[in-house]
A and B are shown apart, each in its own frame.
Chain A
Amino acid sequence: AQSVAQPEDQVNVAEGNPLTVKCTYSVSGNPYLFWYVQYPNRGLQFLLKYITGDNLVKGSYGFEAEFNKSQTSFHLKKPSALVSDSALYFCAVRLYNNAGNMLTFGGGTRLMVKP
């Protein structure tokens, strides 16, 4: 069974500093990995995804993520955090099967960026 873990419930970072939100996964096969962001009382917004190719994926709002197959990780990063980046972040994994393109989500990490 596929699974994804976000080991940190909350990450605190000062504005202007680099941020990392961690994600590890477990699948039997090639993973397709996604990051979403959720602002309060809103739906999830797609940030980026890894399908194949370059291990460094660039996405929306200056975010990027690094796929590391040996460590089964897909950490979300940003060189310089903004207060407006404060939100809930979800990592998700999909393994294509006959049941369709199901996503398995991590529990979410709350990012707090302080001025």
Chain B
Amino acid sequence: DGGITQSPKYLFRKEGQNVTLSCEQNLNHDAMYWYRQDPGQGLRLIYYSQIVNDFQKGDIAEGYSVSREKKESFPLTVTSAQKNPTAFYLCASSSLGTTDTQYFGPGTRLTVL
């Protein structure tokens, strides 16, 4: 899992609540990403950021929001508008070189009660 930390490891949320998932990296990577993983499925991109104070929507951005105020931090907020938020959330980072590898954090499992 390298120099990427995610917290908390497990998170429980009541319906109607917003929650924020933390992602921090000390790899000096410019790009950071958020993915969602559902049981038996692959990864789907929620948001990504290539530079501080800038980010773009991925394939499933509805009901989520992000910020990138610092290079090392890319928090994800799961809002009450996200209809099915129960999932495993993975943060990744990479340099911007064409052949650079994305490295992943350990993940946060979010369960809506």
Contact = CB atoms under 8 A, between A and B. Distances in A.
- Interface bracket on A: 20 to 34
Interface in A70-113: 90, 96, 99-103, 105-108
B41 A51 contact: no
Nearest to B98: A96
A27 interface: no
Contacts, number: 60
A46 B1 contact: no
A44 to B, nearest CB: 4
A17 interface: no
Contacts of A9: 40
Interface of A: 9, 32, 34, 36, 41-46, 49, 51, 90, 96, 99-103, 105-108
